């Protein structure tokens, strides 16, 4: 099947986005590690700051849990739990406080009915469905020379790109909420806000990379099978 071979579209579309994704992930790690060594002047842990921001937004029902891993932090809307990783939960660093505030930003998004996060939550089931069936359908369509099945597979694959497209503004908004709160509530001071911003900006690049990678893969599929369909 052409998709699994190295073609000109692979070099033009996939390789550059893979390199960008690798750079973005490296940037996150290096930036977080740098500012994880800078302790905030407030002296509170990320978990304590997380609780403080939740309470200030009236989200007393949202719990905080400690989970294992490195930067595995996330907000679970199904259980109303902010989960903070080993490297964040008990840390007093500027980097960890920035990450914790970002996750609270997601909790606030749900609380205020922020539309993009509601849209993202709504399309997750169909996105999961599409991710499982897209490539098998494309393979079957190619093997049996049935273009409608190939087209259906590409449409299902495009749902993953849609998910990444919706995810990007959700993450950027959560970071903006976090930084506004950290500065406005005097949780971080002076250059500490800029340092936390550097961490969250680096993290945002990974979502940009995910969108570009997904879009490049989708475009490659369209070009491969569009070209083949035109020949037929």
Q: What is the pLDDT of residue 225?
A: 80
Question: In sequence order, which ranges of 2-114 are alpha helices (DSSP H)?
Answer: 8-9, 15-35, 46-56, 94-112
What is the Cα 71 distance to its own chain's centre? 12
pLDDT at 9 exceeding the cut of 80: yes
Residues 13-21, mean pLDDT to the nearest whole number: 96
CA-to-CA separations, 161 to 128, 130, 157, 158, 216, in angstroms, rounded: 12, 11, 7, 5, 9
Name the nearest CA neighbour of 54 among 103, 94, 14: 103
- Residue linked to tokens 């990450």: 99
The pTM assigned to this predicted structure is 0.89
Instruction: Write the pLDDT tens digit of every residue in 62-77.
Output: 999 999 999 999 999 9
Phi then psi for 75, rounded to 5 degrees? -105, 130
The yes-or-no answer on residue 103 being catalytic is yes
Instruction: Write the pLDDT tens digit of every residue in 144-190.
Output: 888 889 899 999 999 999 999 999 999 999 999 999 999 999 999 99
Contacts of 143 (CB under 8 A, 6+ apart): 1
d(CA 158, CA 56): 39
d(CA 1, CA 16): 22
Catalytic residue (choose from 48, 65, 103, 191): 103
Q: What is the pLDDT of residue 164?
A: 96
pLDDT at 7 exceeding the cut of 80: no
Q: What is the pLDDT of residue 1?
A: 46
Any idea what the Cα angle at residue 96 is, between residues 82 and 123, rounded to 5°? Answer: 40
d(CA 67, CA 87): 10
Contacts of 173 (CB under 8 A, 6+ apart): 105, 109, 114, 116
DSSP label at residue 145: T
CA distance between the termini of the chain: 16
CA-to-CA separations, 89 to 145, 195, 201, in angstroms, rounded: 54, 18, 20
């Amino acid at each position: 099947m052409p998709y699994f071979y190295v073609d000109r579209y692979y070099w033009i579309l996939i390789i550059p986005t893979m390199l960008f994704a690798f750079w973005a992930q490296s940037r996150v790690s290096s930036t977080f590690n740098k500012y994880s060594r800078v302790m905030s002047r407030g002296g509170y842990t990320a978990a304590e700051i997380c609780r403080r921001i939740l309470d200030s937004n009236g989200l007393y029902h949202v719990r905080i849990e400690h989970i294992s891993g490195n930067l595995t932090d996330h907000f679970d809307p199904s259980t109303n739990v902010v989960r903070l990783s080993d490297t964040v939960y008990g840390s007093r660093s500027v980097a960890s406080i920035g990450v914790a505030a970002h996750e609270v930003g997601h909790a606030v998004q749900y609380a205020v009915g922020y539309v993009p996060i509601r849209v993202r939550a709504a399309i997750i089931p169909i996105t999961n469905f599409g991710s499982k069936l897209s490539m098998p359908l494309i393979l079957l369509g190619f093997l049996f020379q049935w273009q409608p099945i190939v087209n259906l597979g590409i449409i299902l694959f495009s749902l993953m790109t849609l998910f990444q497209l919706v995810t990007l503004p959700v993450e950027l908004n959560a970071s903006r909420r976090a930084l506004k709160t950290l500065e406005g509530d005097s949780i971080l001071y002076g250059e500490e806000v800029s340092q936390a911003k550097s961490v969250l900006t680096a993290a945002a690049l990974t979502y940009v990379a995910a969108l570009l990678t997904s879009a490049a893969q989708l475009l490659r599929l369209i070009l491969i099978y569009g070209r083949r369909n035109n020949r037929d």
